[in-house]
Amino acid sequence: MPVTVFAGTGYYVPDRVVTNEELTQYMDTSDEWIVERTGITERRWVSDGMSGAEMARRASVMALEAAEMRADEIDAIVLATLSPDHFFPGTGVFLQRELGLGTVPALDIRAQCSGFVYGLSVADAWIRSGQFRNVLLVGVEIQSTGIDVSTRGRDIAVLFGDGAGAAVLTATEDADRGVLSTRIHSDGRHAEVLWAEAASSRKNPRISKEDIEAGRHYPTMEGRDVFKHAVTRMPEAVLEVLSAHGLEPSDIDLLIPHQANLRISQMVQRRLGLPDEKVFNNIQSYGNTTAATIPIALAEAVRAGRLGRGDLLALVAFGSGFTWGASLIRW
């Protein structure tokens, strides 16, 4: 039976750097508060009408180059985003068109911060079953056009950034490497703890002047509640995938946690008893780019030489839904 390996990774972040200092011009906040509570010092925001599909394309081209693969060798696209360019169709088909991929399928995944891990679960199952050989897995997010950049929205606005990450996954017959397991979960009892109420197809019209005046088109979050669940579910998910293979946290060579808040990553790291050199964080520079955080971090970790053949890599995510999950990969 084939196993799934990462043949290449890539990422794209917009040029526009938004520092904590810049945010103080729009809202009552401070560099000190943001750094202390989140670890973030700057993030990237799109400008000039940049689309999610275009950022995804740029990240994908980099991943294809790294994989030494032509775009027309891709058999399917899985694209994770909570901020699609349009209500429909999904961003995946725009990416498919821009890459000139004929009629290969494009599946959009809506699992928020866990989107890349959910997508990996799907892509890995397709590859292992023999349905597809090469799958392009992308996480892309434009948060900056959907956040309340005033004091009212400061708890969320300071956290999020824009970007895209991509991975080319391919089938191999090598028995000694590849994706070992991915486990995913959700708990919709917490759906409104972190959500955007409007626009909504439950209403006609889907968004009203009143919605906009009340700020219902902006995401809202019970930050402490999300934090509390994240620091429980993330280590739990890592332990779940490890135990499926009789492995321990000490067997992990590199952990890439979803980049929601540096304090969350540090707590997850502590709960798993991992030293600093075994955890990769880049939230300091990009903020939380939701579905894009893990593939951006993975692409950077690869380029920084943090992963060698045979290393045990763990990916773990938690986010709105709630959704969460983890994946274990023999690199």
Residues forming contacts to ligand UT7 in the complex (CB under 6 A) are 29, 33, 37-38, 113, 154-155, 158, 223-224, 226-227, 230, 260-261, 264, 288, 319
258 is catalytic: yes
Residue 164's nearest CA partner among 228, 232, 233, 98 is 98
288 is catalytic: yes
Angle at 28 between CA 145 and CA 228, to 5 degrees: 75
Which helix (H) or strand (E) segment holds residue 106: the answer is strand 106-109
Q: How far apart are CA 66 and CA 262, in angstroms?
A: 29
Length of the chain: 331
Minimal distance, residue 316 CB to ligand UT7, in Å: 12
Minimal distance, residue 255 CB to ligand UT7, in Å: 16
CA distances to 23, 131, 162, 312 from 15, in Å: 17, 38, 10, 33
Q: Which residue has the tokens 């599946």?
A: 107
* Active-site residue (options: 20, 113, 229, 261): 113
Q: Please identify the residue of the shown chain whose CB is closest to the bound ligand UT7.
A: 223
Minimal distance, residue 260 CB to ligand UT7, in Å: 3
Residue 7's nearest CA partner among 139, 123, 162, 130 is 123
* Active-site residue (options: 258, 261, 281, 282): 258
Q: Residues 184, 323: contact at Cβ < 8 Å? A: yes
Residue closer to ligand UT7, measured from CB, 188 or 308: 188
Q: Which residue has the tokens 């597809």?
A: 132
In the numeric block, which tokens belong to residue 277?
Answer: 């050199």
Q: Which residue has the tokens 């892309």?
A: 140
Residue closer to ligand UT7, measured from CB, 31 or 240: 31
Residue closer to ligand UT7, measured from CB, 113 or 274: 113
113 is catalytic: yes
Minimal distance, residue 265 CB to ligand UT7, in Å: 10
Minimal distance, residue 181 CB to ligand UT7, in Å: 22
Residue closer to ligand UT7, measured from CB, 45 or 126: 45
Give the pairing of strands 163-172 and 134-141.
antiparallel
Helical axes 115-129 vs 293-303, angle rounded to 10°? 70
* Active-site residue (options: 261, 281, 282, 288): 288
Count of Cβ atoms closer than 10 Å to residue 131 Cβ: 11
Minimal distance, residue 298 CB to ligand UT7, in Å: 17
Residue closer to ligand UT7, measured from CB, 76 or 113: 113
Residue 221: phi and psi, rounded to 5, are -150, 135
Residue closer to ligand UT7, measured from CB, 186 or 208: 186
Known catalytic residues are 113, 258, 288
